[in-house]
Amino acid sequence: MDRSSLFQLIQEQLDPENTGFIPVENFTSLVEHHELQLDPSKLDMLLALVQSNEEGQVCYQELIELMSSKRSSSFRRAIANGRRTLQREILLDETGLGLYKRFVRYVAYEILPCETDRRWYFHQNRLCPPPVFIAVVTIVQIIVFMCYGIMLNKWVLQTYQLDFMKSPLVYHPGHRAQVWRFFSYMFMHVGLEQLGFNALLQLMIGVPLEMVHGILRISLLYMAGVLAGSLTVSITDMRAPVVGGSGGVYALCSAHLANVVMNWAGMRCPYKLLRMILALVCMSSEVGRAVWLRFSPPVPSSGPQPSFMAHLSGAVVGISMGLLILRSYEESLQKQCSWWVIVFSFITFLLFAIFWNIFAYDLLGVQIPLPP
C-alpha cells in the first residue's frame, strides 16, 4: 500500500466527516491491527501520541506529518508530556551495527539530548545530502593557506607580510566597499596555529552538527557568525583588518556548548564535563592569543594587526541564533516567534553596520591605515 492510499484509507475510515481529528479508540485499533508500513520507531511514537492525548482525539495533520517524516512541535510536546514511556531498548543496546551506523549512533549521542530524538535521527539518517559544507570550507581554507605559505615561504604570522595583506580575500577597513571581503576573510589565517585550531573544531563539532541539523541550518549559522565577525570589527575596532574563520567556528562551538549546558541531564556524550572544560580553555586561549597579537605584536608591523572581535561576535551569534537552531531539531523555525525576533535583531544589526560603514568613518575622522 503506497503512502497516498494509506492516507486516503485513514481519512475515509476514521475521519469521514473531515473534522481534522480521529477518535483515539479507532486509531489505536488501526495502529495495532492494520498493515501500517512503518518502521518500529515511528510505530512507537504513534502509540505514544495516542496514549498521551487527553481529549480522546488524534490530530489528522500530526499523523500525516509523522508518516511523511516530519515532526511538529505539538507532536514533540505530546511525546514529552505523554503518560506512555516508549518501550523499546535504548539506542546504545542496538547490536549488529555496521561501521557507518555505529558512527551515526555516536553522532546522535554527541549532539541530541533526548533518547526519542536520538532514535528518530538514527532511523531517519540518510547519506543524501552528505555533510559537505564544513568539509568544503575546511579544504578551501587549507588550500588557500598552503598557497600563501608556499608563496611567502612563511607558515606563522603571515599577516606581517605585505603580500599577504594585499590579498583580495582579507578584510581591510580601507577596502570596505568591496563587499565580498566581509565574507572571504574566513579563508585566510594568521598562521598554522590558527588554521589548525579552526579546522580541528570545525571538523569535530561542525560535521556532526551538520549531519544532524542539515546543511542549510549549519551553513546559515556559520556564515552568520562570519558576517557578524567582520561587521563587529568594522564598528568596534575600526582600524583593524580581519582574517580567519573564527567567527563561524565560535558560532558553532558556542551554540553546541550552550546546548549541552542547557540539556546537561539529557546529554549522554562521555566525559562531557572534562570536554566542556577543555573546549572552554582552548577557546579562551585562542581569544587571548588574538588579543596579544592585536595589541602587542611580537615583531614590528606596518599597520594594525587583525582584530579579535570576530571571535566574540561569533560566540554571541552562536548563543542566540545557534542555540535556537540546535534546540529545534526537526522543528520548523519559521513557526517560532523567537526565531523571528532573532532574525529581526540580526537584520537590525546588519542595517546599522551598513550605515556605520558608510558614514561613521568620515564623521568620526578615523585615520584608516593605507591598504597595502
Of 246, 307, 320, 328, the catalytic one is 246
Of 213, 311, 320, 328, the catalytic one is 311
Verify whether residue 311 is a known catalytic residue. yes
C-alpha 184/C-alpha 188 separation (Å) is 8
C-alpha 205/C-alpha 276 separation (Å) is 12
Verify whether residue 189 is a known catalytic residue. no
Residues identified as active-site: 246, 311
